[in-house]
Amino acid sequence: MGDMLTTPTVIVDEQILDRNIAAMARVMADKGIALRPHVKTHKIVEIARKQVDAGAAGLTVATIGEAEVFAAAGFDDLFIAYPLWLTRSSAARLVAVAQTARIRFGVDSVDGVRNAGARLGDAVRSFEVLIEVDSGHHRTGVHPDDVGEIALAAIDAGFAVAGVFTFPGHSYGTDQAVPAARGEAKTLRKASRSLVEVGARKHVRSGGSTPSALDADGTSLTEARPGVYVFGDAQQWELGRIEPSDIALTVLATVVSRDDGPVGRRVVLDSGSKVLGADRPDYASGFGRLIDHPQARIVALSEHHATVEFPSDATLPVRGSRIRVVPNHVCTVLNLVDEVAVVRGGLVVDTWPVAARGRNN
Amino acid sequence: MGDMLTTPTVIVDEQILDRNIAAMARVMADKGIALRPHVKTHKIVEIARKQVDAGAAGLTVATIGEAEVFAAAGFDDLFIAYPLWLTRSSAARLVAVAQTARIRFGVDSVDGVRNAGARLGDAVRSFEVLIEVDSGHHRTGVHPDDVGEIALAAIDAGFAVAGVFTFPGHSYGTDQAVPAARGEAKTLRKASRSLVEVGARKHVRSGGSTPSALDADGTSLTEARPGVYVFGDAQQWELGRIEPSDIALTVLATVVSRDDGPVGRRVVLDSGSKVLGADRPDYASGFGRLIDHPQARIVALSEHHATVEFPSDATLPVRGSRIRVVPNHVCTVLNLVDEVAVVRGGLVVDTWPVAARGRNN
């Protein structure tokens, strides 16, 4: 496959992808949790179809732009898991998307839900909102005690309140998945009681991230929204949540420069931050990993260069070699390319467009 | 302007842009250094035209894909400042671009230049190469002593050797611009002597980065390739190389969430890493800066969220406010959006497509 493709390029192994999709569907079915995968990870219609075919209850998106792309592709149940601040123009776009899909979106303040109601006008009754709660990630979301007040404001504005949601993003840390899943469950149960108090009896309790999903509590969550699990990435690998053999997406790169001299035993690949993304959490060993050279480390990354150091006993790849890189955070990679090469058994069998690439507003 | 635009969106102030382009042209003219700006920063045809109109001697690009876009737009003198490892297909693309533009490209090894010669076949005589030297950044490039051997291999393969080049990327560090410019000058002079020894008398000595450009040595460099200077960014601001009033590009964002409570005095903006990029050098105070709130700090960044902390004596912006964010590293931002809004005097006057967005191979 290597010679046909111009590097750097993104490759998806369809057999591993299918296996990952089936495995998460099975885990969630066993727990009795509805799976609503987050498609911001892949932004690819063909992959969303596989997820729904495997039993996903609907899709999660991050933006109205992503909702537009997936609604146009025929997906009719979308949750925008984000506290939208609507303007006249974004409200009009939301109303247009709701012609073909059930749209739920997030709110995390009385101001936000009142503004949304005012912007949507008569169309407000077509929409359901979920109230975001903070389960320890301290980004968006309110304390569970504040859920009742926002729910009442939402009802007052004309919305149906569909439930509560949280993102346990602090699961992305060494040994944090289990405590984050526990905090998620506790927070959602508390938030849920606040909803019951204001009369919203039957409702969704939505949580989930890829690291915490396997430990998600099926009695506390009714729905989970993992995204990264379809591909895996170096973060999940280094957090110990997946094996390298579960990684479905790599960036094919070429060795363009090589130094076996005094500065270090290193090569430079043509896969820089403009294809790998620049995310580098504290726990990461570098700016991505080499799947066939697990001992090597990407010690520096610029826009078109990845500098890779090899241990002293390893054979340094020659110039012109092709090497597969596992990005640290795969969600950023799919936002950088217009298409991916699909391989089965090492052969390129298809090209999928990244339909929602750049649709970030 | 705010209400018409959907956030997050990229805004370019054309008056500041024009001023930055004119200022760098003047500095380089005064030094007697030819300016060959790097267009990977902006990837926009309209901006490259302004640079050439202000006297740029040609353009620098990072990839064959960028060369294709700018050649198709009529630019006829392009330097691919990268040690290309050519394949059959990339050599064919290079030959096609050379139909309308003079193409020079980088080499940093005997292997690389021999491979390029073999792939280009009879077309080799249409191309000139520049040999990359390492002036302290330790990425690609060879020691000046090794230039002669590569030059002889290039001549042997049928190339004209146009000169030597370096990228003093270590200028991106506190107080590093002056020493980096000095190292650049010294390295290029040494490399130049190696070229003279093998008979390449008249040749280019190409250097430059935005931090080091103002200190570039006009007796050692014949050409400079700064890129970022057109826009400026938070890195240049925090390195003290520019004033905030020189920053021509910002990302317009909306306050979607707000916490004036026990966790901290913070707001969350809808400009995450999918529009700001995730670069965060050690010397940076955060993941970008707020141009109208210089005391605020972006303490966390995820794909669609920028968490901003405000000092205790500052007024916290209300939800729905629109705020302009200066990205840390502007070159990554233009690779994330399909177009930019152009403003003059606070009014949106145009939209420019990012013609080479995603053309990274």
Could you give the percent of chain A with pLDDT greater than 90?
89
Which of B4, B82, B89 is closest, CB to CB, to A6? B89
CB within 8 Å of B27: residues ≥ 6 apart? B213, B214
| Confidence tier at A3 by pLDDT (50, 70, 90) | low
Identify whether B180 is part of a domain: yes
Segment A49-69, tens digit of pLDDT: 999 999 999 999 999 999 999
CB within 8 Å of A194: residues ≥ 6 apart? A144, A145, A147, A148, A151
Q: Is the Cβ pair A304, B62 closer than 8 Å?
A: yes
Q: Tokens 């998600």 — which residue?
A: A216
Mutate to test the interface with B, among A63, A303, A307 (most CBs of B within 10 A): A303
Segment B297-333, tens digit of pLDDT: 999 999 999 999 999 888 899 999 999 999 999 999 9
State the pairing for strand pair A339-344/B204-207.
unpaired
Q: Is the Cβ pair A255, B85 closer than 8 Å?
A: yes
Three-state DSSP at A89 gives helix
Q: Are residues A243 and A173 in the same domain?
A: no
Mutate to test the interface with A, among B139, B143, B357 (most CBs of A within 10 A): B139
Mean pLDDT of B123-135: 97
Measured between beta carbons, the chain B residues lying within 8 angstroms of A83 are 256-257
| CATH number of B274's domain | 2.40.37.20
Measured between beta carbons, the chain B residues lying within 8 angstroms of A3 are 87-88
Identify whether A17 is part of a domain: no
- Residue B326 backbone class (left: φ over 0; alpha: ψ -120 to 50; beta: rest): beta
Residue-level pLDDT at B262? 63
**Which has the closest alpha carbon to A59: A34, A26, A94?**
A34
Q: Could you tell me the maximum CA-CA distance found in chain A, to the nearest angstrom?
A: 71
Q: Are A195 and A147 in contact (CB under 8 A)?
A: yes
Identify whether A358 is part of a domain: no
Q: Are residues A246 and A215 in the same domain?
A: no
CA distance B200 to chain A (A): 24
Q: Is the Cβ pair A257, B305 closer than 8 Å?
A: no
Q: Residue B222's CB: how many other CB atoms inside 10 A?
A: 19
Which of B85, B302, B335 is closest, CB to CB, to A319? B85
Which of B62, B141, B304 is closest, CB to CB, to A360? B304
User: In angstroms, rounded to a whole number, what is the distance separating the alpha carbons of residues B344 and B303?
Assistant: 30
Query: Which among A172, A204, A230 is the end of a domain?
Result: A230
Q: In degrees rounded to 5, what are phi and psi of residue A62?
A: -100, -25
User: In angstroms, rounded to a whole number, what is the distance separating the alpha carbons of residues B181 and B176?
Assistant: 8
Q: Are residues A70 and A211 in the same domain?
A: yes
User: In angstroms, rounded to a whole number, what is the distance separating the alpha carbons of residues B334 and A41?
Assistant: 21
Measured between beta carbons, the chain B residues lying within 8 angstroms of A112 are 256-257, 319
Q: Are A64 and A361 in contact (CB under 8 A)?
A: yes
Closest residue of chain A to B322, computed from CA coordinates: A85
Q: Are A246 and A291 in contact (CB under 8 A)?
A: no
Read off the tokens for A172: 């992305």
Residue-level pLDDT at A261? 72
Which of B108, B270, B331 is closest, CB to CB, to A257? B108
Closest residue of chain B to A140, computed from CA coordinates: B257
User: In angstroms, rounded to a whole number, what is the distance separating the alpha carbons of residues B7 and B293?
Assistant: 18
pLDDT greater at residue A314 or residue A327: A327
Q: Are residues B211 and B319 in the same domain?
A: no
Measured between beta carbons, the chain A residues lying within 8 angstroms of B112 are 256-257, 319
Identify whether A143 is part of a domain: yes
Q: Are B174 and B239 in contact (CB under 8 A)?
A: yes
User: In angstroms, rounded to a whole number, what is the distance separating the alpha carbons of residues A227 and A225?
Assistant: 6
Q: Are residues B292 and B169 in the same domain?
A: no
Mutate to test the interface with B, among A274, A279, A328 (most CBs of B within 10 A): A274
Identify whether B351 is part of a domain: no
Q: Is the Cβ pair B90, A139 closer than 8 Å?
A: no
Measured between beta carbons, the chain B residues lying within 8 angstroms of A1 are none
| Confidence tier at A282 by pLDDT (50, 70, 90) | very high
**Which has the closest alpha carbon to A37: A248, A251, A231?**
A231
Q: Is the Cβ pair A336, B331 closer than 8 Å?
A: no
Which of A90, A139, A278 is closest, CB to CB, to B277? A278
| Confidence tier at A312 by pLDDT (50, 70, 90) | confident
Asked whether residue B2 carries a pLDDT value surpassing 60, the answer given is no
CA distance A323 to chain B (A): 14
Q: In this complex, how many residue pairs, one in chain A and one in chain B, have their CB atoms less than 8 Å apart? A: 155
Q: Are A126 and A90 in contact (CB under 8 A)?
A: no
Query: Which among A181, A203, A230 is the end of a domain?
Result: A230
Q: Are residues A211 and A70 in the same domain?
A: yes
Could you give the percent of chain B with pLDDT greater than 70?
98
Residue-level pLDDT at A147? 97
Mutate to test the interface with A, among B1, B60, B85 (most CBs of A within 10 A): B85
Segment B173-218, tens digit of pLDDT: 888 889 999 999 999 999 999 999 998 889 999 998 888 888 898 9
Which of A140, A270, A307 is closest, CB to CB, to B256? A140
Closest residue of chain A to B321, computed from CA coordinates: A85
Q: Is the Cβ pair A275, B360 closer than 8 Å?
A: yes
Q: Tokens 């077309």 — which residue?
A: B123
Identify whether A21 is part of a domain: no
Closest residue of chain A to B90, computed from CA coordinates: A6
Asked whether residue A2 carries a pLDDT value surpassing 80, the answer given is no
Q: Are residues A297 and A179 in the same domain?
A: no
Residue-level pLDDT at A340? 98
How far is residue A227 CA from its own chain's centroid? 4
Q: Is the Cβ pair B140, A337 closer than 8 Å?
A: no
Q: Are residues A197 and A258 in the same domain?
A: no
Segment A94-120, tens digit of pLDDT: 999 999 999 999 999 999 999 999 999
Q: Are residues B219 and B258 in the same domain?
A: no
Read off the tokens for B49: 């035209």
User: In angstroms, rounded to a whole number, what is the distance separating the alpha carbons of residues A264 and A259?
Assistant: 7
CA distance A194 to chain B (A): 20
- Strand order through the sheet with A77-83: A34-35, A223-224, A204-207, A160-165, A128-132, A102-107, A77-83, A59-61
Measured between beta carbons, the chain A residues lying within 8 angstroms of B256 are 82-85, 112, 140
**Number of structural domains in chain A:** 2
Q: Is the Cβ pair B360, A112 closer than 8 Å?
A: no
Asked whether residue A1 carries a pLDDT value surpassing 80, the answer given is no
Asked whether residue A4 carries a pLDDT value surpassing 80, the answer given is no
Three-state DSSP at A207 gives strand
Q: Are residues B168 and B253 in the same domain?
A: no
| CATH number of B52's domain | 3.20.20.10
Residue-level pLDDT at A260? 80
Identify whether A269 is part of a domain: yes
Q: Residue B42's CB: how many other CB atoms inside 10 A?
A: 30
**Which has the closest alpha carbon to A56: A68, A42, A64, A65?**
A42
CB within 8 Å of A243: residues ≥ 6 apart? A237
Q: Tokens 């050439």 — which residue?
A: B52
Mean pLDDT of A125-148: 95
Residue-level pLDDT at A171? 86
Residue-level pLDDT at B3? 58
Q: For A1, what's the count of Cα atoms within 13 Å in the CB-facing half-sphere?
A: 22
Q: Is the Cβ pair A139, B307 closer than 8 Å?
A: yes
Q: Are residues A180 and A250 in the same domain?
A: no
Q: Tokens 């916290």 — which residue?
A: B316
Q: Is the Cβ pair A300, B139 closer than 8 Å?
A: yes
Q: Residue B341's CB: how many other CB atoms inside 10 A?
A: 18
- Looking at the DSSP assignment, which residues form a beta bridge with residue A253? A323
Report the amino acid identity of residue B36. R
CA distance B140 to chain A (A): 6
Q: Are residues B96 and B215 in the same domain?
A: yes
Identify whether B344 is part of a domain: no
Q: Are B278 and B301 in contact (CB under 8 A)?
A: yes
Could you give the percent of chain A with pLDDT greater than 70?
98
**Which has the closest alpha carbon to B273: B233, B317, B248, B307?**
B307
DSSP per-residue codes, A282-323? TT-SSS-EETT-TT-EEEEEETTEEEEE--TTSPPPPTT-EE
Q: Tokens 């729904």 — which residue?
A: A52
Q: Tokens 């669609």 — which residue?
A: B304
Q: Are B67 and B103 in contact (CB under 8 A)?
A: yes
The mean pLDDT value of chain A amounts to 95
The ipTM (two decimal places) reads 0.96
CA distance A30 to chain B (A): 30
Asked whether residue B1 carries a pLDDT value surpassing 60, the answer given is no
CA distance B161 to chain A (A): 19
User: In angstroms, rounded to a whole number, what is the distance separating the alpha carbons of residues A90 and A229?
Assistant: 30
> Residue A78: which H helix or E strand, with range?
strand A77-83
CA distance A163 to chain B (A): 19
DSSP per-residue codes, A132-198? EB-SSS-SS-B-GGGHHHHHHHHHHHT-EEEEEE---GGGSSTT-HHHHHHHHHHHHHHHHHHHHHT
Mean pLDDT of B274-287: 96
Residue-level pLDDT at A262? 63
Give A282-287 contacts, CB < 8 A, sequence gap 24+: A283/A173, A283/A174, A283/A238, A283/A239, A284/A234, A284/A235, A284/A238, A284/A328, A285/A238, A287/A328
**Which has the closest alpha carbon to B2: B354, B341, B352?**
B341
Distances, alpha carbon A203 to alpha carbons A174, B89, B203, in Å = 32, 56, 73
Which of A63, A111, A139 is closest, CB to CB, to B302? A139
Query: Which among B178, B200, B231 is the end of a domain?
Result: B231
Read off the tokens for B291: 């141009």
Mutate to test the interface with A, among B113, B150, B274, B335 (most CBs of A within 10 A): B274
Q: Domain span at residue A311? A: 2-9+236-353
Mean pLDDT of B80-107: 98
